[in-house]
Structure 1
Amino acid sequence: MLKFVSRNSIKKHTATVIFMHGLGDSGHGWAPVADNLSTILPHVKFIFPHASTSNSEFWDVNAFMDEKGLFESFEKVKQLIKSEIDSGISSERIVVGGFSQGAAMAYLVGLTLDQKLSGIAALSGYVPIHNKIFSMVSEQNKSIRIFAGHGTADPVVRYELGQRSAEELKKNGYNIDFHTYNGLEHSTCPQELMDLANFLQTSLPENSQ
């Protein structure tokens, strides 16, 4: 199973967010976000997996050009989800998310997994191998909630790529809430994190178990 950084829930654990980092980062890079969100999501456990280096990098550019590597990564994320389900968390109380290429992996998992999830959170990301993904989508997640955020000045994953992905998802009947952040480069910002927190509160309400 993938190694990861986790932040346990403050109150009774009834929901989980699995969030994947971008290229060149690690789970440690995003763990502080959970520290900030825990006060408003005290029932949520956060898991930040580290990219595996056994086959290139877990979700790096080369892996995304290589479908075999991409789907090997997918299987490893599925193991994390299974572990949470085995611990007593319903799949419908799990959100998968990520930043940049971690967001691309979140799209792949959330759109094709054969167990119903609560939502997808994609920051500065895109739908990878979109022609193939849309032929593999699972009926269980046709109504999945999707939050996507992207900066207009992103020089790494261009804003237009994220926007086109959102448009393609809408054309295929998905409920996606796409947020634009003017002037933001390949990063996040307080407003985006606030919007993400609102999405997670709606997707994983504390009073639902």
Structure 2
Amino acid sequence: MSGLNAVRVGPLRQPAKQALIFVHGLGDSGSGWSFFAEFLQRDPAFAHTRFVFPNAPIMNVAANGNYPMPSWFNIYEWSDNPSKFDVPGFVNSLNVVKNFVQEQIDSGIDPQNIVVGGFSQGAALALASAVTLPVKIGGFISLSGFSRINAQLVEMKNNLNIDTPVFHGHGDQDPVISLKLGYSAKEFYTVVCGLRKYTMKVYPGMAHSTCPEEIDAVVRFIKSNLNL
């Protein structure tokens, strides 16, 4: 798994005892979220934490005029209910996330000290990982997340992380991933998939972005679910 493409930030102190894997959104890269490592490392509690920010492959995104850009899966149309979705691409990226988790386990990190999170596309993958990962981990973070390939996920899902905490933050002014889609994701993962510790917080006035209040909530979530 050494070929996994990511921006990696090592712990300030060895050995590494925890790991945060955070998956970016469409058109971004791992470096776009690497600031989060520096931000968290200001807190001594994260001195032994390793940070991994995976890089998506470059692909032609149909909804953006087939323009090549980093993307975890193709997007065929900008719609809350698209008529076509890239199921193979989504499943492939879901396996990539699984491989990043396994990489950390193989390096000696206790699975319970691993958190998987993401923004937008990455958030969708983080949520899907909550019902498909073959190992129980410490927590999942979804920032502006949504649910797709629901029928396939019902077939693929397991209950290993049914009691693993999930944090879902969403802005009520998001023009890209509407709040309606956020609520739909919560309903699917809690009602259909049975996740029992799913917390969703809505941030007034926030668009397809993040805000200090959301970041603060994420930090609290991570600290409460990792052995720091």
Output the TM-score relative to the length of structure 2. Answer: 0.84
Provide the rounded CA distance (Å) in 1 between the counterparts of 2:60 and 2:113. 31
Instruction: Measure how far apart 1:30 and its partner are.
Output: 0.5
Instruction: Measure how far apart 1:44 and its partner are.
Output: 1.5
Residue in structure 2 matched with residue 7 of structure 1 by the alignment: 9
1:122-174: CA deviation from partner (whole Å, max 9, x where unpaired): 00011221232133221211111100000000000001111221133222431
Provide the rounded CA distance (Å) in 1 between the counterparts of 2:147 and 2:165. 15
Provide the rounded CA distance (Å) in 2 between the counterparts of 1:115 and 1:30. 25
The question of 1:17 aligning with 2:20 is answered yes
Task: Pick one of 199, 203, 215 that aligns with 1:177.
Answer: 199
Output the TM-score relative to the length of structure 1. Answer: 0.91
SS of 1:45's equivalent in the other structure is strand
Residue in structure 2 matched with residue 120 of structure 1 by the alignment: 140
Task: Pick one of 81, 88, 92 that aligns with 2:108.
Answer: 88
Task: Pick one of 29, 33, 53 that aligns with 1:30.
Answer: 33
SS of 2:52's equivalent in the other structure is strand
Contact 1:157 1:186 (C-alpha < 8 Å) held by counterparts: yes
Q: Which amino acid aligns with 2:22?
A: F
Provide the rounded CA distance (Å) in 2 between the counterparts of 1:161 and 1:185. 14
Task: Pick one of 64, 67, 72 that aligns with 1:59.
Answer: 72
Residue in structure 2 matched with residue 72 of structure 1 by the alignment: 92
1:94-149: CA deviation from partner (whole Å, max 9, x where unpaired): 11110001100111222211111111100001122123213322121111110000
Farther-moved stretch of structure 1 (142-151 vs 64-73): 64-73
Structure 1, unpaired ranges of 5+: none
SS of 2:209's equivalent in the other structure is coil
Provide the rounded CA distance (Å) in 2 between the counterparts of 1:53 and 1:25. 10
Contact 1:7 1:46 (C-alpha < 8 Å) held by counterparts: yes
Residue in structure 2 matched with residue 196 of structure 1 by the alignment: 218
Identity over aligned residues, as a percent? 36
Q: Which amino acid aligns with 2:143?
A: L
Instruction: Measure how far apart 1:54 and its partner are.
Output: 6.3
Cα RMSD, aligned residues only: 1.9
Provide the rounded CA distance (Å) in 1 between the counterparts of 2:162 and 2:217. 23
Structure 2, unpaired ranges of 5+: 62-69, 77-83
Instruction: Measure how far apart 1:34 and its partner are.
Output: 1.4
Contact 2:73 2:86 (C-alpha < 8 Å) held by counterparts: no
Farther-moved stretch of structure 1 (49-58 vs 145-154): 49-58
